[in-house]
Amino acid sequence: MNEILKLPFIKGLDLCEQFFAEAVRPLLDHHFPNLRYAAGRLGGGSDVLGFDTPQSRDHDWGPRGTIFLAEADFVEMAPAIDALLKNELPLTFRGYPTHYGRHDDNTLNLTFIDAPPVNHAIKITTAARFAHSYLALNLNQPMQPVDWLCLPSQMLGTVRNGRLFHDSLGEMTQLRQTLHFYPHDLWLYLLAGQWTRIAQEDVFVSRTGDVGDDLGSRILAARQVQNIMRLAFLLEKKYAPYPKWFGTAFARLTCASDLQPLFAKVWQADNWQTREAALNEAYLYLARWHNELQLTEPLPAEVHFFHERPYRIIHSDQYASALYSQIQDPTVRALPHGLGNLDQLCDNTDVLSNADRFHHFASLFKESNLQTGS
């Protein structure tokens, strides 16, 4: 592995695209000239999001990708293509091995070999099989609101931000277009759900501090910063990645230069009053942003006292209510208010990265929306 880390670093998506163009595609063109297929680098991996660094090369990184066949060709052609690649791929590409070994934890690691067969990392599948195994989606059926809500944003982001190098079938191009971002009414629903999360705990930052629980106040403030960041991703129509890259991706948002100094005030605050004031600055920034987007009728971007208590909030729930009222799709209107999507309900990695578990949450979104007055 030390030999690998000494090689000149190439961003993974670039390496994979070059590998396809110069090593994989010529083999397919020569041996299967009439084959219709798609190829790309999509799915899991820091390289798919563009966040890989030289350290990423120690596992699950390298010249790799996915070939998507037509369903009618899969049974016959998948084994033939796999055998072709094992026996005729170059042993190295740009100095990197094309052969992969396995760590004890089942991750892949680049390994130099002297002769074929190459244990390559080119997955051969179809668009429908990929959608089912990676996203728990059935491409033979139109996506319903519940399907969207059961999809973690990190999974959607790795489909949107990956690359297709070639597509003569059109199925993967269509899937990526479909999943580029949430339909409008679902976007409003998720925005409302995120405003609701902010409203649920905004005053707790002050209340805990007021009773001398500074640790509790700081923890709640950190949760609110995360809620603000998630709302910012939604407002910029970007999918938020999983925690390792959450801050990195946020720093690339247009709003980051405005919000990060406010977050710094939250971290540096040594009392709840200063912490509350910094968070309110951030809430007001979001409120003004909401009004600029004209998502609803203009709402007052103002700070008020919380009932008769000495705590100040912006009444975030009014933004949620206004957003819900703008939803036109009756299916989305019937969804329970205050839930949002799987990301807003759960942060467990073993749930958010396992497609077999996504639809276990579907029943939550199918409950009658009786408490909302809808």
Model confidence pLDDT, tens digit, residues 183-242 = 999 999 999 999 999 999 999 999 999 999 999 999 999 999 999 999 999 999 999 999
Supply the pLDDT for residue 367. 57
59 or 90, which is more confident?
90
- Measured in degrees and rounded to the nearest 5, phi and psi for residue 120 equal -75, 165
**Which of the listed residues 159, 178, 197 is the one where a domain comes to its end?**
178
Number of domains in the chain: 2
**Which of the listed residues 144, 178, 212 is the one where a domain comes to its end?**
178
What are the tens digits of pLDDT across the range 105-132? Answer: 778 899 999 999 999 999 999 999 999 9
Q: Are residues 146 and 212 in the same domain?
A: no
Q: Which of 269, 304, 268 is nearest to 283 (CA)?
A: 304
Mean pLDDT (the chain) is: 94
Q: Are residues 273 and 135 in the same domain?
A: no
Measured CA to CA, the distance from residue 137 to residue 139 in angstroms comes to: 6
Q: Are residues 194 and 275 in the same domain?
A: yes
Range of the domain at 36: 2-178
Measured CA to CA, the distance from residue 264 to residue 357 in angstroms comes to: 36
Helix (H, G, I), strand (E, B) or coil at 25: helix
Q: Are residues 78 and 192 in the same domain?
A: no
310 — pLDDT class (breaks 50, 70, 90): confident
Q: Are residues 279 and 142 in the same domain?
A: no
Q: Are residues 173 and 204 in the same domain?
A: no
Helix (H, G, I), strand (E, B) or coil at 91: coil
Supply the pLDDT for residue 372. 40
Q: Are residues 117 and 228 in the same domain?
A: no
Q: Are residues 56 and 128 in the same domain?
A: yes
Q: Which of 359, 349, 205, 342 is nearest to 283 (CA)?
A: 205
What pTM does this model have?
Answer: 0.93
Q: Are residues 255 and 349 in the same domain?
A: yes
Q: Are residues 77 and 39 in the same domain?
A: yes
Q: Are residues 308 and 361 in the same domain?
A: yes
